[in-house]
Amino acid sequence: MSVSNIMDWTDYELETRHNYIQQLFPSNLSSRKLKEYKHNEQLRKRVIGATIRMLLFFGFSIDVDNWSVKQVKNLHRSENGHTIGLYSPRNYPRLTNIMRFLVEIGMNELSALVFLALCHAMQDDLQFRKMIKKMGYLSTWMNTQPYLRKYRDRYDINEMQLKDDTSSTSSTTSSTSSTTSSTSSTSSEKEDVEFGGWVVDSDSSDEDSPFQQACAGFRGLDYTGNSCYQDSVLLALFAISNEVITREILKKDTRKISTSAKKWIQCADDERIDYKRRHAIQNELIRITASLRGLEQTRYCSNLRRLIQRCPGQQEFHGTGTQDAGEFMLYLFNLFQVNTIVKKRVTMVTNSLVDPPENTLTVNDTVDVSTPLINIHPRSLVGTSSVNVRQFIEHIDDAIFSDDNLYTEHTTGNLYRRRIETDVIVSASYIVFNAQRVYYDHVHNHQKRATTRVDCPETIQVGDRKLSLHAIITHIPAHYTCYIRCERRWFWYDDNPGGHSHKIKHIGSYEKMLRHNPDPRRNGTLFFYV
């Protein structure tokens, strides 16, 4: 584990790995080692680089012009179930070691900048301040700063004002800060309070605040030319980190796809051009993902559309016409050849018309892999008041044939009255149920839309895995929006046609989400489980 390797680690790796702080900022230095760190220029440059990297891990960068710090990431972040950065108490001893070491080797000013970042964090974020007060770390951190040691037992953390508590406090953090804007309202008024791009109901309970702050950095794309179907799908797929989507799309080996004999979508006859076009789309999705997670600023999907035009699917996703969200998602799955579902298919034939059927012959028993998209056909929705997505984990197609159109079993040539096909998903770590609500009414000769309620439990069991509901894309006439879960709380996203920017509203619990408008069960078309 070299220092250069550590410097290349992601924030997630810095959070979850152990013992590297001692390598970057060693304690209990011998007199010889201490002298090296004080006078060896290369060692000191390495320490500066390591400090800058750790500050970035905690959400800050150094403002060289003003010899200060500025916030560049959200304070409360999480990935793969791990809280990352300042909201993770395991990092508090690490911070103590960093500041103490910098002072020990004579880099007092650099140590002071780390402490300044912590002061900004406590000033900006009430929840973080409460955590530090409860754990008593402020006096420990003050003790690392020689000029503050005599004040450490006298300073009251409650004296520190939030930046929004006073107009005289100047802002030194960037626009990515998740500080909540202070807004007054009477008890009879309900107004929206914006923070970090999300909108929070003013009657949200205090217990929601850490979840709001954890998700405050996420943002959506803005509407442009009927982009709502794309914007909603991109948010549902990429806004929250997921190992399946990361592996199968963002980090997929596109060269391997381009050089394979069988391509689900062909971008060009020439393998090199195919790879160049496919890889360009992947890079743009990575850029959009960074923006959705609050790390960059990308407002529109326009560049993605231009790249898709060079590698088109069956629909014109590169244009500004209205398209189906499910078809767009299938295009992405096909482009990157995402086949993460394991299905078992059994086909039986018989002349028995009773249930359970007698004298059946199994003519097919196979196991296949397929895309994570499971279609709920209109015929499953029309004529019933409700369905449950669990019904479609196992699908049975039971067909009875007339005497003049009997089913021919190809291996023997025998004729049968009945064919029973059973498709069962035996393994999956990511599933999207696609409720195809639009259908053609041949009786009345026009297109109709099924408003059947699609029940979507919080969790479903697929084989030996339990999957959780992650997002729902809804469709009302001519517009898509998206519900998405973050840190066990639900939000609603609208790319906001006609507005100057998108909207994301905090809803709260799963039960509140089900009662929200648009109705996620009667207007939902895509149901994501991870």
d(C-alpha 418, C-alpha 355), whole Å: 12
Q: What is the pLDDT of residue 18?
A: 79
* Mean pLDDT along residues 137-156: 80
Tell me the CA end-to-end span of the chain in Å, nearest whole number. Answer: 33
* Mean pLDDT along residues 435-441: 86
Cis link prior to 518 (omega < 30° from 0)? yes
Q: What is the pLDDT of residue 522?
A: 97
The listed range with the strongest mean pLDDT (116-120, 209-213, 313-317) is 116-120
Which backbone phi and psi does 376 adopt, to 5 degrees? -105, 105
**Are the C-beta atoms of residues 37 and 31 closer than 8 Å to each other?**
no
Total count of residues recorded for the chain: 530
Q: What is the pLDDT of residue 155?
A: 65
383 against 475, higher pLDDT: 475
Among 324, 331, 527, 333, CA closest to 432: 527
d(C-alpha 199, C-alpha 192), whole Å: 6
d(C-alpha 476, C-alpha 399), whole Å: 34
Reading the block at residue 133, the tokens are 């007060």
Reading the block at residue 525, the tokens are 């078309």
Backbone CA torsion sign across 96, 97, 102, 106 = positive
> Is the pLDDT confidence value at 24 over 60?
yes
Return the minimum-mean-pLDDT range out of 50-59, 322-331, 402-411: 402-411
Reading the block at residue 30, the tokens are 């011998």
Residue ranges with strand state E in 333-455: 341-350, 361-370, 373-376, 386-388, 394-400, 407-408, 415-416, 418-427, 431-435, 438-441, 446-449, 453-455
What's CA 302's distance to the chain center, in Å? 21
Angstrom CA distances, 207 to 183, 203, 211, 213, 245, stand at 19, 12, 8, 11, 30
DSSP 187: T
Q: What is the pLDDT of residue 479?
A: 94
Cis link prior to 497 (omega < 30° from 0)? no
| CB within 8 Å of 494: residues ≥ 6 apart | 481, 502, 503, 504
pTM: 0.61
> Is the pLDDT confidence value at 272 over 80?
yes
